[in-house]
Amino acid sequence: MDYTTRPREFNFNQKVYEIVKKIPKGKVTTYGSIAKMLGDPHLSRQVGWVLHANKSSEVPCHRVVDRTGRLAPNFAFDGAEEQRRRLESEGVGFADEIHVDLNSCLWQE
């Protein structure tokens, strides 16, 4: 990481990771929620960027969806199907093929 030119970004990334790691099993959260927890509701896009940059890692990014509950892109993991499968096995309910049931599974501090 380049602290000189991107000090803010570095800190932001760390925070995002910390939050995502805290998501309990069987729950999901949204990019917007994470951004809000960080203090700036408008950083939702960056949250997505951070997760994409890290994708498959120690961070359970499959528990992060957009504000409608829609699963992220087919580009992540092995495809949206894989993500849905993982979420379902954790007990996350689905409204339809690509939308989680935020009503009962949305996690918030």
Partner DNA sequence: AAAGTGACGCATT
Partner DNA sequence: TAATGCGCCACTT
Binding site for DNA (CB under 7 A): 6, 8-9, 12, 30-33, 35, 40-52, 54-55, 61, 64, 66-68, 72-73, 75-77
Catalytic residues: 61
Residue with tokens 């760390």: 14
Nearer to DNA, 25 or 55 (CB): 55
Give every CB contact of residue 17 below 8 A, 6+ residues apart in sequence.
Answer: 50, 54, 59
Minimum distance from residue 63 beta carbon to DNA (Å): 10
Nearer to DNA, 57 or 104 (CB): 57
DSSP state of 23: P
Minimum distance from residue 79 beta carbon to DNA (Å): 10
Q: How far apart are CA 48 and CA 42, in angstroms?
A: 12
